[in-house]
Chains A and B, each alone.
Chain A
């Protein structure tokens, strides 16, 4: 046998060895569909979070030996594409469950299809209350849907809880103006703000809603400035850069807090050329802050794999994939109803906190449970180019401080 031939045989044997276990495993993978908006930061994060979770689960032996196979499809922010791709993943790929989308409008269009096709569907980023209210409305028909993120009402509660502990208790702020983009998720958010802000001692002077395609925010800021509030409580996700930049460029003398979802991403500093200094936003997690023992290992693995830090939807999707894998193990089945019943029993530590779903009786059926014992999110503030955690206080690594042009009330 010539050397060449030996080498060839060895390579062949090696290849065979490499192929055999994979082939045995791949013989029967469990398919999970991901629907998302790959061109956007939160949409890309959904795909990334799912990819990372599936890789880790497969490396640890999969689900009783069967690997998870992800099918990731881009819905291009279009409901038509999303519905078509949802149907395709159910019928063609036989996905046992579908996960994704951070756009409430898309998720609401997919929900009836999850119910019609009896497909377990976990929403990981969209926030409209209607998503889990839909499940509650006709539980038997809609039980396949899980809102694996917080409904807007809880996001509002988290903002109020955070504002109470920081803005009110530490800085004696008394008045606020709510400023939200016109979108599905901000209607319940604003309702939540209007209800809970007065309770924590922040008087709501006005509630301004603006079109998401607003280009110039000067008129809004001028109007707000005349009301002389201490803080603007935002409800922004589709917009973010433009209002933040104009707030800083025009030195609007009012603190900026609430939810400024894009400010939760670490590229926001660059996108705004640093105008985000001093901006406070509710988010899922903050760099270097261990909400649970799983948070930091996840963030590190994510940064190592993708080269940038995870957006909020990466956390919720990563947790959802683990919750699904866990449910599949317990259910010992890939049929819809056993998966749904197993998901309902979810009780695990995730990256965002303790993950459990609410029951049928809850107004937000199948949404994540909220509270210090479950998931609350964090409030973070941009300070000198860094995202610092300022709430919950037990996790905080900085105290809030404001740019020079924002006056802070004297006690």
Chain B
């Protein structure tokens, strides 16, 4: 009984972690950018979805779509207003670009957090689940929303896989992540590929943000934590490796759930953090990363 509970609960959490981290790793894989405003984008999607639904009465579906749209816009602003200017700046030496992007997106995340806190206070909220009610799985009472979230998350991840592996544009993405210079030589515009990947990223972050908001809640104070957990999972799995990210998400999700069930809920995060330190130290490229 307990084992099944851990299995179900861990699965839902892990799937959300995976979806949340996927866009983060994609951006890094293709364009080498670590976006530390990631959590901010996810929270924007959730807050907008919640606000439209509960305060303007648009219903959960319109709210979720609007949240997605605003998140996409915010992702494009992140790229066009912050990341691109730094990457194109001659004043920033190439070997320091990474730190500048990190610092700038970090600041951008702080701005998003403060703006959300100003507009909606920092009190947490929950996005209304798209499907209410519970169902019994092998004797474990499970909210249908949890199953729905897992299904949507896997559908999105499947679609992404198809896009990358089965379409023309996806192959270009892969090529860009492996060797950007060669791609430029072949006459493809890297700029357009980057723009495309940031659009995908914005949509992924938005979907993850809204779903997370309906399962674990959201709020301006969630911003640093969400960025941190995506960062952790992505590095553990290997920066830029999509399958590594998925595996790492499930490892972290299940370790946390096991700790919470079998040891103590208040120690939930500790074993995963220690594991992370050990793995990075033994194998800096992460579980499936290439170097």
Q: List residues of A whose CB falls within 8 A of some B CB.
A: 39-41, 44, 182, 208-211, 213-220, 222-223, 239-242, 245, 249-251, 262, 265, 267, 270-273, 275
Contact = CB atoms under 8 A, between A and B. Distances in A.
Nearest to B123: A41
Contact of A40 (B5, B122, B145, B216): B122
A210 B265 contact: yes
A237 to B, nearest CB: 11
Interface string B1-36: 010010001000100000000000000000000000
A220 B265 contact: yes
Contacts of B265: 208, 210-211, 214, 217, 219-220
A249 B134 CA distance: 7
A219 B261 contact: yes
B162 to A, nearest CB: 30
B125 A219 contact: no
A222 B54 contact: no
A242 B126 contact: yes
A182 B265 CA distance: 11
The 9 closest A-B pairs by CB, nearest first: A219-B260, A211-B266, A210-B265, A273-B128, A242-B217, A249-B143, A219-B261, A241-B124, A271-B125
Nearest to B212: A215
Contacts of B257: 216, 219
Most buried by B among A240, A249, A250: A249
A44 B126 contact: no
A251 B145 CA distance: 13
For the residues of B in contact with A, the DSSP-based class is mixed
A245 B266 CA distance: 19
A240 B118 CA distance: 20
8 contacts: A40-B122, A44-B121, A211-B265, A241-B124, A250-B142, A270-B125, A271-B126, A273-B128
A267 B126 contact: no
A241 B216 contact: no
Given A213-B225, A214-B266, A241 B134 contact: no
Contacts of A208: 265
A208 B265 CA distance: 9
Nearest to A222: B5
Contacts of A211: 265-266, 268-269
Contacts of A245: 126, 217
B55 interface: yes
B224 to A, nearest CB: 10
A216 B134 contact: no
A243 to B, nearest CB: 10
Most buried by A among B121, B122, B123, B125: B123
B7 to A, nearest CB: 12
Contacts of A265: 123
B134 to A, nearest CB: 5
Contacts of B145: 249
A270 B260 CA distance: 29
A274 B268 CA distance: 28
Contacts of A223: 261
A240 B221 CA distance: 14
Nearest to B132: A249
B129 interface: yes
Contacts of A251: 134, 141
A216 B266 contact: no
Contacts of A210: 265-266
B9 A209 contact: no
B235 to A, nearest CB: 20
B218 to A, nearest CB: 9
Contacts of A270: 54-55, 125
A250 B121 CA distance: 27
Interface string B254-273: 00010011000110110000
